[in-house]
Chain A
C-alpha cells in the first residue's frame, strides 16, 4: 500500500469556522490531489498540486484553498465552513512517468461534518 495518511480522520465543526485537513505521503510522489465524495456525485477534484508551491484548481474549488510547502504534505483549508461542505474528503498521489499507468493512490479519507 502507498504510504498516505490523512488527518484528522473524522471532524465535526460548526458553520463559519476554518478547517484544515492534512495529507501526508512517504512515497515522494510529485502529484497530489484533493477530492470530495458525495452520494450521486462520485469523486470530484477540488485542487491538485504539480509539486512544491505549485497548485491549481479542480472542478469544485470554490470555498477551498490548498498549500504545499513540502513534497510530502498537501493541506486543504476550508476558510469558512458551510453545511454544503459536509463530505468525505480523499487525498490521492501519483507519480508522472514515461510509461505505465501512473495511477492515483488514495488515502483513507476524512469524514467532515459541518453543523
Chain B
C-alpha cells in the first residue's frame, strides 16, 4: 500500500521562505507531485519530481530523495496569495497514472 505524511498546518510570514515536507512509503514509486489548492477551489499542479534532486520553478522549488522516501516544497518570497493547502501526491506503478494523495498542509501566510 501507499502511505504519505505531511504536516497538517504551517504558518509563515509574508516575504519569508517556508519548507513543506512530505514523507512516503510506497511500492512501485513512479514520481511525486505537488499541488496547490485554495479554499473552495480545485487543486492545481505545481511541480513534479521523478529523479533525486531539486526542481526549481520561479518562487517554488521541489526536492526529492527516493532512497529516503522524502520530498519538500520550498516557497520563497511568500505572498498572502500563497495561503492555501499544499498536497503531496505519489504516482505508483500499475498503470492508469494513478496518484495517492497526502492529507495536505494548510499554509497560512501572515503579515
Interface residues of A (CB under 8 A from B): 31, 33, 40-45, 48, 50, 56, 58-59, 90, 94, 96, 101-109
Point out the residues of chain A lying under 8 angstroms from B87, CB to CB.
42-43
In the bound complex, do residue B104 and residue A104 qualify as a contact, i.e. CB atoms below 8 Å apart? no
> Number of B residues whose C-beta is below 8 Å from A?
20
Can you list, as one digit per residue, whether each of B36-57 has a CB less than 8 Å from chain A (1) or not (0)? 0000011111001000000000
If A103-B33, A106-B43, A109-B42 touch, whether A40 touches B96 (CB-CB below 8 Å) is: no
The answer on a CB contact under 8 Å between B42 and A90 is yes
Looking at the assembled complex, report how far the CB atom of A95 sits from the nearest CB atom of chain B, in whole angstroms: 9
Minimum C-beta distance from A89 to chain B (A): 11
The answer on a CB contact under 8 Å between B48 and A31 is no
Interface centre among A42, A106, A107, A108 (most CB of B within 10 A): A42
- Report how far A63 CA is from B98 CA in the complex, Å: 20
B99 interface contact, C-beta 8 A? yes
Task: Assess whether B101 is in contact with A101, with CB atoms less than 8 Å apart.
Answer: no
B101, A90: Cβ atoms closer than 8 Å: no
Whether the Cβ atoms of A50 and B95 lie closer than 8 Å is yes
Please determine whether A41 and B42 come into contact, CB atoms closer than 8 angstroms: no
Point out which of A44, A50, A58, A103 has the most chain B C-beta atoms below 10 A from its C-beta: A103
Known: A101-B45, A103-B45, A103-B48. A48 touches B103 (CB 8 A): no
Complex CA distance for A44 and B102, rounded to whole angstroms: 9
> Which are the 10 A-B pairs with shortest beta-carbon distances?
A42-B103, A106-B42, A43-B101, A101-B48, A103-B45, A42-B101, A94-B97, A106-B43, A102-B97, A108-B42
How far does the Cβ of A8 sit from chain B's closest Cβ, in whole Å? Answer: 16
Chain A residues with Cβ under 8 A from B97's Cβ? 31, 94, 96, 102, 104
State in angstroms the CA–CA spacing of A59 and B4 once bound together. Answer: 14
Which of B89, B98, B102, B104 has the most chain A CB atoms inside 10 A of its CB? B98
Max chain A CB contacts within 10 Å: which of B97, B102, B103?
B97
5 contacts across the A-B interface (CB closer than 8 A) = A31-B97, A42-B103, A43-B101, A106-B42, A108-B41
Name the A residues within 8 Å of B100 (CB-CB): 45, 59
